[in-house]
C-alpha cells in the first residue's frame, strides 16, 4: 500500500511539473509574439509617421492632420492595414504639429474621403532645352511643369492655371512672361473633372539683363561695373583684342583673372555680365587697358603688376 501511494504522489508531482513547463512555454511564446507584434507595429507606425511628415512638407506645411487612407492613395505609405486583424486603417487620423506626427485613436471617414481627393502637386520649371531648373532661386521666363505624386492626375488633366497675389502673373503656353516677379502666390489648378486645388508658391523671376555702368581703372586693376536691381549681378566676363575688332561670340569671354597681357601693349576691352537668374547683358565695349611692366618683370601677365590706364574713347 505504501509503495502505491508513493508512486501516485510521484506521478502527480510529475504531472504538475509538466503542466508548469507547458505554462512556462506558453508564457514564453506569448511574450515573444507580443514582443514581435510591438516591434512590427512600431515599424509600421514609424513608416506611417514618416509618410505623414513628407506629406505635410509637400503641402507647404499648411495642414495639421491627415488620414492614413490619404497617405496610401498618394503613395506616401504602402500599407494601410493593421498587423494581426488586417483591419483597414484608412479613416484613422494623424495629427501633425511642429513637424511631429501623432497617430490618434480617432477615426473620421468623412475627412478621409475629402483628404484622398487632395493630390500632392509638384511644380517644376523647364529651361529652353527642357531640363528642370532650380525653382527655389531666381529664374528667367521658364516653362511651368506640373506633376502629381502617384499619378493621381496627369498634366493633361489640368484645365486652367491661375495665380493669385499682389501682381498679375502672365502665363502663355505655361511660360511665365513677366519681366520681374518676387512674391508669394497661390496657384490654383482646376482639372477637367471640375475639381480645383491650391498650392502656395514663391515666384522669383528676373528676365531683365544687367545694365552696364562704367569701367573703373585703379593702377593695375580694372573692372567693368554693372547694375541689376532685381536678382543682382552674378559674373562679369571679358574679351581683349589688340586690333579693336568687336567679338560676336560670347564663348570667347572669360573671367578677368584668366586674361593674359604682353609687355607695353594696349588692349581693347569688352565685357558681358549675367545676373543670378542667368540673363546676360549685351556685349559692351568698355575701354582700353595697357599693362606696364616693372624693370624686374618680363614675359606675359594677367595684370598682377605694373600700371593700367583707361582709354577715354
Using CA atoms, how far residue 55 sits from 67, 71, 101, 103, 220, in Å, is: 11, 7, 11, 14, 57
pLDDT at 2: 53
pLDDT at 86: 67
User: pLDDT (tens digit, 9 = 90+) per residue, 119-147?
Assistant: 889 899 998 888 888 767 899 999 999 99
pLDDT at 307: 46
Q: Is 241 left (phi over 0), alpha (psi -120 to 50) or beta?
A: beta
Distance, in Å, from the CA atom of 257 to the CA atom of 302, rounded to the nearest integer, reads 6
pLDDT at 222: 87
pLDDT at 306: 40
Look at residues 273, 179, 287 and name the one whose alpha carbon lies nearest to residue 232.
Answer: 273
Distance, in Å, from the CA atom of 259 to the CA atom of 253, rounded to the nearest integer, reads 9
DSSP-based three-state secondary structure for 296: coil
Distance, in Å, from the CA atom of 311 to the CA atom of 313, rounded to the nearest integer, reads 5
Using CA atoms, how far residue 271 sits from 60, 207, 214, in Å, is: 42, 19, 11
CATH architecture of 121-206: Sandwich (2.60)
Look at residues 171, 149, 148 and name the one whose alpha carbon lies nearest to residue 160.
Answer: 171
Domain boundaries, the chain: 18-116, 121-206, 211-301
Distance, in Å, from the CA atom of 183 to the CA atom of 166, rounded to the nearest integer, reads 8
pLDDT at 295: 39
Q: Are 127 and 80 in contact (CB under 8 A)?
A: no
Q: For residue 252, which phi and psi values (nearest 5 degrees)?
A: -80, -15
Strands 132-133, 121-126: pairing kind? antiparallel
pLDDT at 156: 92
DSSP-based three-state secondary structure for 245: coil
Distance, in Å, from the CA atom of 186 to the CA atom of 200, rounded to the nearest integer, reads 5
Low-confidence ranges of the chain (pLDDT < 70): 1-17, 33-43, 82-86, 135, 292-313
pLDDT at 311: 46
Amino acid at each position: 500500500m505504501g509503495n502505491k501511494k508513493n508512486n501516485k504522489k510521484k506521478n502527480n508531482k510529475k504531472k504538475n511539473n509538466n503542466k508548469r513547463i507547458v505554462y512556462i512555454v506558453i508564457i514564453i511564446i506569448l511574450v515573444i509574439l507580443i514582443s514581435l507584434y510591438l516591434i512590427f507595429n512600431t515599424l509600421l507606425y514609424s513608416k506611417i509617421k514618416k509618410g505623414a511628415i513628407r506629406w505635410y512638407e509637400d503641402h507647404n506645411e499648411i495642414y495639421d492632420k491627415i488620414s492614413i487612407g490619404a497617405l496610401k492613395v498618394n503613395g506616401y505609405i504602402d500599407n494601410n492595414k493593421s498587423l494581426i486583424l488586417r483591419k483597414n486603417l484608412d479613416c484613422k487620423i494623424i495629427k501633425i504639429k511642429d513637424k511631429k506626427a501623432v497617430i490618434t485613436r480617432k477615426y473620421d471617414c468623412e475627412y478621409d474621403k475629402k483628404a484622398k481627393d487632395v493630390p500632392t502637386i509638384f511644380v517644376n520649371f523647364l529651361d529652353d532645352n527642357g531640363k528642370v531648373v532650380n525653382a527655389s532661386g531666381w529664374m528667367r521666363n521658364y516653362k511651368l511643369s506640373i506633376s502629381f505624386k502617384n499619378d493621381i492626375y496627369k498634366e493633361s488633366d489640368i484645365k486652367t492655371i491661375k495665380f493669385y497675389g499682389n501682381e498679375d502673373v502672365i502665363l502663355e503656353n505655361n511660360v511665365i512672361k513677366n519681366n520681374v516677379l518676387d512674391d508669394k502666390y497661390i496657384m490654383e489648378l482646376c482639372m477637367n473633372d471640375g475639381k480645383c486645388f491650391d498650392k502656395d508658391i514663391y515666384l522669383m523671376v528676373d528676365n531683365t539683363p544687367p545694365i552696364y555702368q562704367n569701367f573703373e581703372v585703379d593702377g593695375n586693376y580694372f573692372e567693368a561695373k554693372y547694375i541689376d536691381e532685381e536678382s543682382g549681378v552674378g559674373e562679369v566676363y571679358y574679351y581683349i583684342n589688340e586690333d579693336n575688332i568687336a567679338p560676336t561670340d560670347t564663348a570667347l569671354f572669360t573671367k578677368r583673372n584668366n586674361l593674359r597681357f604682353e609687355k607695353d601693349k594696349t588692349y581693347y576691352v569688352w565685357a558681358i555680365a549675367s545676373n543670378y537668374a542667368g540673363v546676360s547683358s549685351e556685349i559692351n565695349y568698355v575701354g582700353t587697358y595697357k599693362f606696364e611692366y616693372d624693370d624686374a618683370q618680363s614675359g606675359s601677365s594677367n595684370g598682377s603688376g605694373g600700371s593700367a590706364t583707361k582709354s577715354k574713347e
